[in-house]
Amino acid sequence: MKGAIHLASASPRRKLLLEQMGLRCTVIGVDVDEPMDQTWYALDLAKNLSERKMIACLNQRPELRDDAWILTADTLIVLGDEKIGKAYNREDAARILNLLQGRTHQVITAFSIYSPRSRTYVTEHESTDVTFSSMDSMEIDDYLDTGEWIGVAGAYRIQEQGGKYVSSLNGTYYNVMGLPINLIYGILRLLNFGN
């Protein structure tokens, strides 16, 4: 797949994944609140956050509406009834890892793709179940020292040192990294991206 897409996300992993798909990727900044409203269903919350980013992007960068393909995304973790986003600080990251260790959680990534042809966007999602090994307090402390917890949902990165604590995965690995690239590829094909 060839073509250019604007990524409204500061995530270097998402940029890398789009480039792995063969896309030229331009990162654009979007200023938007990301409230982690615990009263919403997790899937609805993830979709809402992705769409909020898209609406903010189109409002803040109206010059992109006519000819730019745009992608926004939001990833969150679900453990029982709790929705977990990015850790606020090291203490919060330790709390999250203590919750996840020895248990299975769900990673939901919702994404929105804007087509300049139709001047509208579609929103989809992918879910993956991830089971963590048990971690003792020293392992959690050592992992926090890596800094990988900063800026990622669930306070871990599966593609880096965090992967050694993942005992099983049911679903798409790339979804846990931040973008379900196979699903995105299929939607871009349906939207005639690059033609």
Q: Which of 31, 74, 92, 142 is catalytic?
A: 74
User: What is the rounded distance in angstroms from the CA atom of residue 94 to the CA atom of residue 69?
Assistant: 38
Of 58, 83, 84, nearest to 156 (Cα)? Answer: 84
Cα separation of the two ends of the chain? 10
Phi-psi region of 70 (alpha: psi -120 to 50; beta: other; left: phi over 0): beta
Tokens standing for residue 57? 């992007």
Tokens standing for residue 47? 């979709």
**Is 129 one of the annotated active-site residues of the chain?**
no
Catalytic sites, residue numbers: 74
